[in-house]
A and B are shown apart, each in its own frame.
Chain A
Amino acid sequence: MEYTIFILLLPLAMFLLLGLLDTKLKPRVAGILGTLGMTVCTALAYYTAYLFFTQSRVDGVYPSHTPVNYEWLRFTEHLHIDLGIYLDPISVMMLVVITTVSLMVHIYSLGYMHGEKGFQRYYAFLSLFSMSMLGLVVATNIFQMYIFWELVGVSSYLLIGFYYTKPAAIAASKKAFIVTRFADLGFLIGILILSFFTKTFDFATLTANPSAIITESAGMTFMGCSVASWALALIFMGGAGKSAMFPLHIWLPDAMEGPTPVSALIHAATMVVAGVYLVARLFPVYCVTPEVLDLITTVGAITALYAAIVACVQTDIKRVLAFSTISQIAFMIVALGVASDTDLHAGLGYMASMFHLFTHAMFKALLFLGAGAIIHAVHSNEMSEMGGLRKYMPITHITFLIACLAIAGIPPFSGFFSKDEILTAVMHKSTFWGIWMTIVAGLTAFYMFRLYFRIFWWKETDCSHHTPHEAPLTMTLPLIFLAVVTCVAGFIPFGELVSVNGQPYHIHLDMSVATTSIIVAVCAILLATWMYLKENNKPGNIEKATSVLHRAAYRRFYIDEIYLFITHKIIFNLICRPIAWFDRHIIDGTMDMFANVTQCVSARIKGLQSGSVQGYVWLILIGSLLVATITICCCL
């Protein structure tokens, strides 16, 4: 399977080609080149997946492969960064997801970004991102993952800030990078601690002997928790940052300032699930520290509810989708948190999480691309500018509806199956979290249909000045493709391919959980229909009735303000400025003081060196007389 290296090299080559030639290429040529490169990549990924999942099982497990492994940088005898490709069920699954969505976005962008300044640059960045993301998922060791982790961070930064003349986009890109960078600091420290004790970066070695970290660091504690827990919690912090978990989620809604296809690719389907993937990758290690898994569950659950509530009141359609993404990723995180690797059944959450990752990537990409088509048509992100679009954009309407049904968890769409597995897993572990997550699932259905109705129903637009029209073929084609995938993905026997210990797991529906969740979802949809089908003032009334709550939710519970306060008021004004002042006035002042004192003293004594010869004679005479007198007195 050595050819898999081309899955990475091809996008890299595209990035270099498009990036270096830039405007020397015609936009159309650049776009087609990039898309072609991605197509080949996708084909290779599918072929790999085909080969991987059709190979014979060994001990009931698909054997993993490391077709490429090259020592990149050696630190010590044990520690070295390798760059390689590691194929196991989840990485192959991720390859398929990433290449599929990326290809769709490449095609879609041909239409969406048509005529934009910097079209070539856009494709170059897309290729860079694809390369980094693919490198991340096939990483053979945790440091390789960190490398590509940073690279996806940068590509995300570059793509969010694609419209670099727009102040909001610049601020958003900066925020995204810095917040994730802060999280990555935790990741890095976690890696350092982990590798210090286990003496390896390698995933295979780490997961083969997951308790090494415990045995090696036995007895070492910090603030009441064992060092092993700290290491894993810090690594999770990195994942939480990338996956926008509360309270590191603040960058994701702002990241919507980037071009919409980018949001679909990076901030919905692929990069943001990197945190989930990281935890899944290190899952055996996490299993030896149950307290960290509990932490993960809690963080995920809080995020899920928080994001769902906020999503209910946002008016910018991309923001709604962003919070919905956060909420859905939190589902995956919770699923991982409740899983364990003791047996297949306890590991249901792991499988469910991966399954949801897969289906979510498809339908969320679809939602974003649909939203892109809508924005393309009405030139605004605000719900108030929309309404009644179903007549003008039939394809977008249908595909969007399919995606909404999927995310709301209505059978037979894919979201139902994966979400149901998650709820089953959570319920299995703890009823409290199970009910909690069911409520979140209901909220999901509500806000998605609120979005759907506000866009496509609500009121009839006045078409006096501008008639919205359906998007071109390059944009609708990906929509249709993804909609088809969304419809059928639920029937993939996912448990056969991916499970916690690699053994095939047969998915079966837990009827009580499934029924409950369907009922909740349907009720929520009906509520949304009642409120938003036709233009009325019910939502306004409710808003007024709960004005404090509504305002708080609308302002995302003031988390951004808290961050702003901490960064600007505390860090900038209380740390940076005093340090700069201290440097200029105290340290520099001390140095200047030495100089000034020297100068003052010399200014004083330079009067003696007056150049007046008579004065000198005076001094010489007085001096010599003094010396003489003293000498004489001494001799007496």
Chain B
Amino acid sequence: METPMMYYIVISLVMFFAGVYGFMTRKNMLMMLISIELMLNAVDINFAVFNRFLFPGQMEGMIFSIFAIAIAAAETAIAIAIIINIYRHIRNIDADNLDDMKY
């Protein structure tokens, strides 16, 4: 375990902001979803890393990561169901086109 904590954190940082970048620039909803997954993953890493390096005797961070993964799975399932449904309706999954219900 010689690798310092900061190294891990830098990785997750890059990953997170890659997700942010993707979320901001892409229109395709699936791509947005992928970006979200990236961000979630980066956060999960952080939880695990902080747990491991700062509070090695406990496991709250890890458990949290596990729950986060489970919930991410659920969220993805719903999101994809919605996206497919939208695709059936408008043959397109660009976020910009979804403005029928806006004020």
Contacts and interface: CB of A to CB of B under 8 A. Distances in A.
Direct contact of A and B (CB under 8 A): yes
**Interface SS majority for chain B:** helix
B103 A613 contact: no
A75 interface: no
B20 interface: yes
Contact of B103 (A606, A614, A618): A606
A115 interface: no
A613 B28 CA distance: 12
B20 A610 contact: no
A63 B86 CA distance: 104
A617 B24 contact: yes
Contacts of A617: 20, 23-24
Interface in A593-627: 606, 610-614, 617-618, 621
Nearest to A603: B103
B91 interface: no
B11 interface: no
A613 B102 contact: no
B86 to A, nearest CB: 14
B2 interface: no
B20 A614 contact: no
B93 interface: no
Contacts of A611: 99, 101-102
Contacts of A606: 103
B23 A614 contact: yes
B70 interface: no
Contacts of A614: 23-24, 32, 95
A614 B27 CA distance: 9
Contacts of B96: 612
Question: How many A residues touch the partner, as a band?
Answer: under 10
A618 B21 CA distance: 10
A628 to B, nearest CB: 13
A618 B102 contact: no
A618 B95 contact: no
A610 B101 CA distance: 10
B100 to A, nearest CB: 10
Per DSSP, chain A at the interface is helix
Interface string B62-85: 000000000000000000000000
A610 to B, nearest CB: 7
Contacts of A612: 95-96
B41 to A, nearest CB: 17
A618 B103 CA distance: 21
Interface in B1-47: 20, 23-24, 32
A609 to B, nearest CB: 8
Contacts of B24: 614, 617-618, 621
A587 to B, nearest CB: 32
Contacts of B102: 610-611
A621 B20 contact: yes
Nearest to A615: B24
A635 to B, nearest CB: 19
A613 B95 contact: yes
A621 B95 CA distance: 19
A621 B22 CA distance: 13
Nearest to A611: B102
A612 B27 CA distance: 11
Interface in A349-408: none
A60 to B, nearest CB: 96
B95 to A, nearest CB: 7
A612 B97 CA distance: 10
B32 to A, nearest CB: 7
A613 to B, nearest CB: 7
Nearest to A620: B20
Contacts of A621: 20, 24
B19 to A, nearest CB: 10
A146 to B, nearest CB: 64
Contacts of B95: 612-614
A394 B24 CA distance: 113
B18 to A, nearest CB: 13
Contacts of B99: 611
B57 to A, nearest CB: 30
Nearest to A614: B24
A611 B96 CA distance: 10
A406 to B, nearest CB: 88
B30 to A, nearest CB: 14
Nearest to B27: A614
B22 to A, nearest CB: 10
A627 to B, nearest CB: 16
A617 B23 CA distance: 8
Contacts of A618: 24
A612 B96 CA distance: 8
Contact of A613 (B20, B32, B101): B32
A76 to B, nearest CB: 63
A624 to B, nearest CB: 10
B28 to A, nearest CB: 12
Closest 7 interchain pairs by CB? A611-B102, A617-B23, A617-B24, A614-B24, A606-B103, A618-B24, A621-B20
7 contacts: A611-B99, A613-B23, A613-B32, A617-B23, A617-B24, A618-B24, A621-B24
Interface of A: 606, 610-614, 617-618, 621
Given A617-B24, A621-B24, 6 more contacts: A611-B99, A611-B102, A613-B32, A614-B24, A614-B95, A617-B23
